[in-house]
Structure 1
Amino acid sequence: MNETNQLDNRTLSLKRTFNAPVELVWEAWTRPDHIAQWWGPKGMETRVVEHDFRPGGKWEYVMIMPDGKEFITNGRYLEIVEFEKIISSADFKPMTEGVEIQAFFEADGDKTNFTFKVVHPTEEYCRQQEKMGFMNGWGSVFDRLNEFLTTD
């Protein structure tokens, strides 16, 4: 099996088109005050603890469940190309650890085509995460992002 197939077998992806220009979608991903408004599944509150938005910079968010239980999410920015992509290591403790998240932005007039990928260390771990609800969980997050982007 070639390397591309191995990578594909370890990657889960979601695609969306947002009714907002790429600059606005980028801003939602890069400003801590915006991130706090949409990051995390519906029903969770998010507190940005650290946000050093540069290659090598660390990020840490606390997602607070309605019952008060907290989930720590953190990582390090690996690659940033303005208005195009953000690649980061990521841990979502205690559910998902040791993954890479990739956000790709493509301007399409006054809309943004968005692709989100999570690369897992192994194919088995990838399948486990998929069964745990990857599509619903991240789908809910991007529903919140869409609501944030379209709110006046």
Structure 2
Amino acid sequence: MEDLTNRTLTIEKTFEAPLELVWKAWTTSEHIAKWWVPQGAELTVLEHNFEVGGQWKYAMPMPDGSQFISEGTYKEIVEFKKIVTTADFKPMTANVELIAEFEGDVETTKFKFSVIHETPEYCKQQEEMGFYNGWGSAFDRLNTHLESLV
């Protein structure tokens, strides 16, 4: 098995929310639209076909009037445990794989989010571009959204 360590960036969090709710927040359009982007940004879900082989596509308007497009294809879905999808975040990030892993119960959910890049150099570049701040901000919004629902 290939060692992906030098091509992977990972964030781990624990949400004070039931596993079922965290899963729903990751898998349904109405929830995704509330947290997927950084604070102060808006998101339009253009497509969300949550099944293996299904496509997803989200748009975030940019200050210059252009659209920041996030899109991908679901590769693996294990209900309440794991989501694997390809992802392109145009124009900043291309051809990565996202892995969201969930473990929890009726009170808390441990969450692990990994992004696998094509090369170690590309991984380092993405980290320097603000991977942890960007995704960290989105996951903070997810946490706030979950708190409003619990």
Q: Structure 1-normalised TM-score?
A: 0.94
Counting only pairs closer than 5 Å after superposition, residues 86-101 of structure 1 correspond to structure 2 as 86-101=83-98
Q: What is the CA distance between 1:11 and its match in structure 2?
A: 0.2
2:73 aligned partner = 76
Distance in structure 2 (CA, Å) of the matches to 1:104 and 1:17: 12
Distance in structure 2 (CA, Å) of the matches to 1:116 and 1:85: 10
Tell whether 2:58 aligns with 1:61. yes
Which residues of structure 2 form unaligned runs of 5+? none
Q: Deviations over 1:45-81 (max 9, x none)?
A: 0100000100000000001235544200000000000
Distance in structure 2 (CA, Å) of the matches to 1:32 and 1:125: 30
Tell whether 2:5 aligns with 1:26. no
Distance in structure 2 (CA, Å) of the matches to 1:150 and 1:137: 20
Report the RMSD for the aligned CA atoms in angstroms.
1.3
2:7 aligned partner = 10
Counting only pairs closer than 5 Å after superposition, residues 113-132 of structure 1 correspond to structure 2 as 113-132=110-129
How many residue pairs are counted as aligned between the two chains?
149
Assess if the C-alpha contact under 8 Å between 1:100 and 1:119 holds in 2. yes
Q: What is the CA distance between 1:122 and its match in structure 2?
A: 0.3
Distance in structure 2 (CA, Å) of the matches to 1:59 and 1:99: 14
Distance in structure 1 (CA, Å) of the matches to 2:65 and 2:145: 23
Tell whether 2:39 aligns with 1:37. no
